[in-house]
Amino acid sequence: QRPAPCALVIFGASGDLTARKLMPALYNLACNGGLPEAYTITGAARTDLSTDQFRTRMREAMSTQDNFDTALWDQIESRLFYQQLDYDESQGFGALKTMLDNQREEFSTRDNRIFYLATPPTVYEAIATRLGQVGLTHEKASSFARIVVEKPFGRDLPSARHLDITLDAHFAEHQIFRIDHYLAKETIQNILMFRFANSIFEPVWNRQYIEYVTCASSEQLGVEHRAGYYEQAGVLRDMFQNHMMQILALVAAEPPSLFAADRVRDEKSKVYRSLRPFAPERLRDDLILGQYGPGTMNGKAVLGYRQEPDVAPNSKTPTFAMMRVWVDNWRWQGVPFHIMSGKRLREKITRIVVQFREVPHSMFRDVLGQDIAGNRLVMDIHPENSISLTFQTKAPGAKPCLSPVTMSFDFATGSGEGLDAYEKVLLDCMLGDQMLFWRQDSVELCWGFLTPILELCEECGDVREHLHPYSAGSWGPPPALEMVNTLF
Ligand code: BG6
């Protein structure tokens, strides 16, 4: 399906994200015929640039792409514009409106507009307000105006609500696209297909057959150049409030009645509503926080978090968390979900493990003298894109003996090429499909779950007691290792 004509405006276009992610994604969409027939791309930012200078910058950034094709780029470049503006003043936004009106006449983009905020969240409010003031947020029956925002959607429940009220003043919920790039990953999208397009898994997908679920995203990267942001966020806000919660919901949700954005998002919200609140006495058992110290990554010595540039030498920001989460509903009562994420860990792995229970009675126990491990389903999201199921077989030989074997499907061998996360996000936004975007009720429900935990950790001064050091290049703090091991 080809999107309808539209004008895309990228705020913060002089920044890193535009050159590194958005423009390459738009370029690849153009290569594959994924852009509308009529479109324009307008960069808008505080930096004083002319359209020509912006075009030159983008050409330089894009010419390093493997698939760079000058003729195709020439076409895109002729639809590329730049508007300098100050987010706090209406003047530049007025000029932007005039520019978009002219583009409508010259390029037939109609009045369809997408505003992509590739800016720090601190200016979301100013941009939404100015867009509203100059009349760029109105939709007519035949046109759309959409706003795309990236996380963080606030830093706790009150600030998330405040942000929403600001966006709501100018945009209706169906106009707001809150990105989570994990949702755009092919293997994450596959979770619902796997569960609900096969009849053999769903009957056992519950507390009766499943012992625990582990969802993990471990990274080798440290804080990089993002200390300013990360010091304020920490791993719970950076990874749990968004990506990890989405993975949890996809594994735990009830079957939606239709594969349609709101039906799916309704079911996710129900999962979030069922999360057992974290009582202070559970903190020690069900939450393990850590912070990386110096260590060795791939044979190279690396700094500890507190030695990283712009990190406070006595920082208490957690860079690792392992949380045991309980979904209090009929299906999942008593099944722990181990959610884990951390920086500077031994390997980069994004994985979901569904561990099934042992058989209820082992007729082999006397003969084999061994316990039988339960079946195990592993969905690998990174670096592998695969699904594997481990089950028991008879090991060949005269003596009865069991041997676990694994049946595996690798997406690399499947048909068709997936879209990169930003390509998918941009395409869906042009098509108006909110399936892979956060809805506000879910954002608030997740903050409602996490905010008391953050408060317990941060405001009660308990962090010092709960923040366990771990060496960069290890698998995290020792108290978490038992749960980490459930990944392998
Ligand atoms: C981002 C976080 O949302 O996700 C980063 O802000 C993290 O800290 C990144 O590194 C991980 O994404 P991926 O796709 O590399 O697993």
Residue 219 Cβ < 6 Å to ligand 1:
yes
pLDDT tens, residue by residue, 231-268: 999 999 999 999 999 999 999 999 999 999 999 999 99
Helix and strand element counts for the chain (H, E): 17, 18
| Ligand 1 center–CA 171 separation, angstroms | 28
Identified catalytic residue from 170, 243, 338, 466: 243
User: pLDDT at position 464, please?
Assistant: 57
243 is catalytic: yes
How would you label 294-329 residue by residue, b for 16+ Cβ within 10 Å and e otherwise? Answer: bbebeeeebbbbbebeebeeebbbbbbbbbbbbbee
Confidence bin at 364 (pLDDT 50/70/90):
confident
As for the ipTM of the complex, it is: 0.99
Confidence bin at 369 (pLDDT 50/70/90):
confident
Residue pair 320/291 in contact by the 8 Å Cβ criterion: yes
pTM: 0.95
- How far apart, in whole angstroms, are the C-alpha atoms of residue 268 and residue 57? 41
* Nearest-CA residue for atom 6 of ligand 1: 238
Which has the closest alpha carbon to 177: 151, 148, 152, 154?
148
| Ligand 1 center–CA 223 separation, angstroms | 11
Residue 262 burial (C-beta neighbours within 10 Å; 0-12, 13-18, 19+): middle
Pocket test of ligand 1: the residue of 16, 187, 239, 245 to mutate, having most ligand atoms within 8 Å of its CB, is: 239
Looking only at the bridges linking them, the beta strands covering 467-471 and 287-293 are parallel
Confidence bin at 418 (pLDDT 50/70/90):
confident
Residue 246 Cβ < 6 Å to ligand 1:
no
Q: Which residue has the higher pLDDT, 270 or 395?
A: 270
User: pLDDT at position 363, please?
Assistant: 86
* Nearest-CA residue for atom 9 of ligand 1: 239
- How far apart, in whole angstroms, are the C-alpha atoms of residue 29 and residue 13? 18
- How far apart, in whole angstroms, are the C-alpha atoms of residue 379 and residue 408? 10
Which residues are 216's β-sheet partners?
Answer: 340, 351
pLDDT tens, residue by residue, 286-323: 999 999 999 999 999 999 999 999 999 999 999 999 99
Residue pair 405/390 in contact by the 8 Å Cβ criterion: yes
Place of tokens 């722990």: 336
Residue 217 Cβ < 6 Å to ligand 1:
yes
DSSP secondary-structure letter at 420?
Answer: P
pLDDT tens, residue by residue, 113-129: 999 999 998 999 999 99
Looking only at the bridges linking them, the beta strands covering 295-297 and 113-117 are unpaired
Judged against a pLDDT cut of 60, whether residue 349 lies above it is answered with: yes
Residue 350 Cβ < 6 Å to ligand 1:
yes
Residue pair 241/446 in contact by the 8 Å Cβ criterion: yes
| Ligand 1 center–CA 459 separation, angstroms | 26
pLDDT, average across residues 63-82 = 95
Residue 238 Cβ < 6 Å to ligand 1:
yes
pLDDT tens, residue by residue, 134-183: 999 999 999 999 999 999 999 999 999 999 999 999 999 999 999 999 99
| Ligand 1 center–CA 17 separation, angstroms | 13
